[in-house]
Chain A
Amino acid sequence: MNGHALKRLLKAKEFLLIIITLAIIVLFYCVNKNYLSTDSLRGIMQAMSITGIMSIGVAYLLIGGGIDLATSLECLFAGVLTAILIVKLGISWPVACLITLLVSAFIGWLNAVMITRLGMMPFISTIAVSSVLTGVNLALTNSQNTPIPVESFWWGGGTLAKIFPVPFVIMIVLLLIGGFILKKTQFGRNIYLVGGNQQAARLSGINPARVRTYLYIINAVMAGFSGIVLASRMHTASPSSLSDAQMDAITASVLGGIAFTGGAGGMLGCFIGILLLNFFSAGLNMLALESYWSTISSGVLLVIALTVDYLNERSRERLLKTKPAIAAKEASK
């Protein structure tokens, strides 16, 4: 590695995060050697996959300058819908999953229409959608869990090579595809432009409303897919759990260097954010601490994430003022 490459690595947004993650892993490993046992690692990979899949859509949306506070509910709704299609309507599970993803895409499109066409605030309109989905979930299931007694649908609990949980492998594949689209395609570049400066994007001939519409649809489909995976893993669909998943996905994305204000970040950072969050959480669970310590620790982690985000944003703004060409190049990396 030459000096220039090393300098670039040290300056990378993700580098600090990797160091923090490694420090956390070493710390918990010193406390309990079984923290890195096969069973433990499999559990951590399993635990991160739902939030991880959800994070891909959340990250896309954040980079494009949007936010969807109904993501957790979209995830739960997808699980519930899949369960109802399989159990109550007797539809085969692959078809049920396909229908669920289409319905999820429709929900994403509705979100986008409210925000881009009707000019509603994303915070308010997606909270409203979240409220609607809460009610729909409860109404569809009569507030009951819906067990899915179809063994072929339980692939979410399986493993590859006896160590990699299937949902984790799916998450990695989706992250790679997500990263490729972001970095190597015109659509990916458009997302950065729309998130970074909507006015400039419009002047460059991009239709920001259309890009955002795609982003809300992608986010809802990812949330829907994570709901299907969750239902598959638990063999049941719950209408009212998983309230923290979207906050975890947002935290992981912001931790990974995705700017809350849009226009910066990438899938690698997002993945490291997910790793950090889940290794941290698994370590706390392993210590079996009282909940207030876990709550305090999670809060501190979020404050760190926001501080890092703020510092990144400030340095980007400073760079934009002094060297706009370099800033644009940095943002697209």
Chain B
Amino acid sequence: MKKALSFLLALLMIFTIVSCAKDPVAPATTPPPPPPADSTAPGGSDPTDTPPAEGGTIGYVTDDVDHQARKTYNIVYFNFQPSNASQQVADALLELGNVYNFKLEQLTANGDSDAYINNLTTTLLKGPDGIFVDITQEYAPRVSELLEEYDVPAICMFNKAVDVDGKVLIPCVIMDQYHNGQTQMQWMLDNYKTYWGDVDFSKVAFLSLDWSTNMDLNMRSVGATELWKEKYPNNPYFYGDTAAESFSVEAGYNVTNAIISANPQIEYWLISGTAEDYTLGATRAVNDLGKSDKTIITSSGAAILSGEWDNGYEGSWKANYSAPPWLYAGVTTFGLLALIDGRATKDTLWPESFLPGDLAPRLVLMPDMMTHENYKDYLSNIKASFGC
């Protein structure tokens, strides 16, 4: 029995090693298609627009660079926690690699910050040409030190890589999370009549689902709540912090269910889910409580809601403030390629996004609200704007 199991385990190990040793996706040899002339996303300004005249022109999709004329770069995407969004970014980066001549290796630390630092060291020792990092503030200084020590160009995405004083250490591509929350709230206030008609607004309350231990998610909640308080100071608002539970659909369900059922006097609800997982739970709770017609939900992200719509969903989750994974992947790619090529350094990249006191630029994405009506065009236009 033991021998048979040992043999099976040994076979499994060999199979795993062979599978892992498989070549990453090879880049295409065809020249990259030019970016479309009109790449404006529906509903607003294009987040990948050419920078203003006083800014730089390097590190954007509009770079006039022949990426096939150089060697194929080896680039690593090392994310902290696997998620819907990070996987979609990785998929987008793989496609971009085919077009812009780089091989991608994908790594994750499975949410373990110590493992992130250790594995980053090992990865940097292998000498990649560049790296995309996805980290949070707590260990950004150490990651920055390692990148300096091994002299590997890097771009951080999703979160700011800042020191204790809030200075940006690594070039990063982020969203203005406060603006995110405010935009969600403004969208709900602008559109509630479409779904509810002319209702007595004194019967409307706001619920913000938050993950207070994450600065970015928290700022979304703060932005939405402050605008609500400013515009409707006499209307009730509720704060559903799920940080004590898990980052999950289940947590969103439980918190939403508890708060709405404890306040039956409130007839209409506006809910800002802040993250898609919670929001999905909130929509199910609202549905189970029979409140779908009297609730409007928004969130941030693209992956889950677009999947729901693709499967015929038409419930109370109406829109998302959406910087899709393709937007992150595209913008970071052109920044990193400029750094690796030596066309820019972290001091000269995206100068219009370089704030006084920072040690690197912070490029802030300003996406639009994604709705059921525009989501297919919105997502495909953003992808097309990067030549894919």
Q: Which residues of A contact B (CB under 8 A)?
A: 32, 34-35, 37, 39-40, 42-44, 46-47, 50, 113, 117-118, 134, 138, 142-145, 147, 149, 157, 165, 230, 233-236, 238, 240-245, 281-282, 284-286, 288-295, 298
Tell me if B1 counts as interface (CB < 8 A to partner A). yes
Contact of B245 among A35, A234, A236, A244 (CB under 8 A): A244
Tell me if B226 counts as interface (CB < 8 A to partner A). no
Cα A143 to Cα B86 with chains together (Å): 8
Q: A144-B84, A147-B307 are in contact. Are A234 and B249 (CB under 8 A)?
A: yes
Are B212 and A145 in contact (CB-based, < 8 A)? no
Query: CB-CB < 8 A to B212: which residues of A?
Result: 290-292
Are B242 and A291 in contact (CB-based, < 8 A)? yes
Are B250 and A282 in contact (CB-based, < 8 A)? no
Contact of B249 among A32, A47, A138, A236 (CB under 8 A): A236
Are A234 and B281 in contact (CB-based, < 8 A)? yes
**Which of A35, A284, A285 has most chain B Cβ within 10 Å?**
A285
Contact of B5 among A32, A113, A142, A281 (CB under 8 A): A113
Q: Which residues of B contact A (CB under 8 A)?
A: 1-2, 5, 82-84, 86-88, 91, 110, 211-213, 238-251, 253-255, 257-264, 277, 280-281, 284-285, 287-289, 303-304, 307-308, 310-313
Are A43 and B257 in contact (CB-based, < 8 A)? yes
Cα A284 to Cα B83 with chains together (Å): 28
Query: CB-CB < 8 A to B277: which residues of A?
Result: 145, 238, 241
Are A40 and B303 in contact (CB-based, < 8 A)? no
Are B261 and A298 in contact (CB-based, < 8 A)? no
Query: CB-CB < 8 A to B264: which residues of A?
Result: 34, 37, 39
If A43-B261, A288-B241 are given as contacts, then 7 extra A-B residue pairs at C-beta distance below 8 Å, sorted by A number, are: A40-B257, A46-B257, A143-B87, A149-B311, A285-B255, A289-B241, A293-B244
Cα A230 to Cα B251 with chains together (Å): 12
Q: For the complex of A and B, list the 10 residue pairs with the smallest distance between their C-beta atoms, beginning with the closest.
A: A241-B248, A294-B244, A143-B87, A291-B243, A285-B258, A43-B257, A39-B261, A40-B261, A149-B311, A286-B262
Are B246 and A233 in contact (CB-based, < 8 A)? no
**Which of B86, B258, B287, B312 has most chain A Cβ within 10 Å?**
B258
Are A39 and B243 in contact (CB-based, < 8 A)? no
Query: CB-CB < 8 A to B255: which residues of A?
Result: 285
Query: CB-CB < 8 A to A113: which residues of B?
Result: 5
Cα A96 to Cα B213 with chains together (Å): 38
Contact of A157 among B84, B239, B245, B288 (CB under 8 A): B288
Query: CB-CB < 8 A to B303: which residues of A?
Result: 144-145
Q: A143-B87, A290-B241 are in contact. Are A282 and B258 (CB under 8 A)?
A: yes
Cα A242 to Cα B91 with chains together (Å): 25
Q: A117-B1, A145-B304 are in contact. Are A243 and B244 (CB under 8 A)?
A: no
Are B84 and A43 in contact (CB-based, < 8 A)? no
CB distance from B211 to the nearest CB of A (A): 8
Q: 14 A-B Cβ contacts within 8 A?
A: A39-B260, A43-B257, A46-B257, A134-B110, A144-B84, A147-B310, A149-B312, A234-B280, A234-B281, A234-B284, A238-B277, A241-B277, A285-B257, A285-B259
**Which of B110, B284, B303, B308 has most chain A Cβ within 10 Å?**
B284
Query: CB-CB < 8 A to A294: which residues of B?
Result: 241, 243-245
Are B311 and A291 in contact (CB-based, < 8 A)? no
Secondary structure at the B interface, as helix, strand, loop or mixed, is helix
Are A240 and B83 in contact (CB-based, < 8 A)? yes
Are B261 and A37 in contact (CB-based, < 8 A)? yes
Query: CB-CB < 8 A to B261: which residues of A?
Result: 34, 37, 39-40, 42-43, 286
Cα A147 to Cα B211 with chains together (Å): 24
Q: A149-B312, A291-B241 are in contact. Are A282 and B254 (CB under 8 A)?
A: yes
Are A285 and B254 in contact (CB-based, < 8 A)? yes
Cα A238 to Cα B289 with chains together (Å): 22
Residue of B nearest to A241 (CB): B248
CB distance from A237 to the nearest CB of B (A): 10
Query: CB-CB < 8 A to A117: which residues of B?
Result: 1-2, 5
Residue of A nearest to B312 (CB): A149
Residue of B nearest to A87 (CB): B311
Are A145 and B280 in contact (CB-based, < 8 A)? yes
CB distance from A106 to the nearest CB of B (A): 13
CB distance from B194 to the nearest CB of A (A): 25
Are B1 and A142 in contact (CB-based, < 8 A)? no
Residue of B nearest to A35 (CB): B262
Contact of A244 among B87, B246, B249, B284 (CB under 8 A): B246
Cα A165 to Cα B304 with chains together (Å): 26
Query: CB-CB < 8 A to B86: which residues of A?
Result: 143
Are A43 and B281 in contact (CB-based, < 8 A)? no
Are A288 and B238 in contact (CB-based, < 8 A)? yes
Query: CB-CB < 8 A to A291: which residues of B?
Result: 211-213, 241-244
Are B253 and A39 in contact (CB-based, < 8 A)? no
Are B82 and A138 in contact (CB-based, < 8 A)? yes
CB distance from A111 to the nearest CB of B (A): 13
Contact of B87 among A142, A281, A285 (CB under 8 A): A142
Contact of B240 among A143, A285, A293 (CB under 8 A): A285
Are B259 and A288 in contact (CB-based, < 8 A)? yes
Are A40 and B262 in contact (CB-based, < 8 A)? yes
Cα A165 to Cα B303 with chains together (Å): 29
Cα A141 to Cα B187 with chains together (Å): 32
Q: A238-B248, A242-B246 are in contact. Are A145 and B307 (CB under 8 A)?
A: yes
Query: CB-CB < 8 A to B2: which residues of A?
Result: 117-118
Cα A233 to Cα B246 with chains together (Å): 18
Query: CB-CB < 8 A to B253: which residues of A?
Result: 46-47, 234
CB distance from B240 to the nearest CB of A (A): 6
Cα A12 to Cα B255 with chains together (Å): 34
Cα A118 to Cα B86 with chains together (Å): 38
Residue of A nearest to B263 (CB): A34
Are A242 and B248 in contact (CB-based, < 8 A)? yes
Query: CB-CB < 8 A to A39: which residues of B?
Result: 257, 260-261, 264, 289
Residue of A nearest to B110 (CB): A134
Q: A118-B2, A144-B307, A241-B246 are in contact. Are A42 and B288 (CB under 8 A)?
A: yes
Query: CB-CB < 8 A to B83: which residues of A?
Result: 143, 240
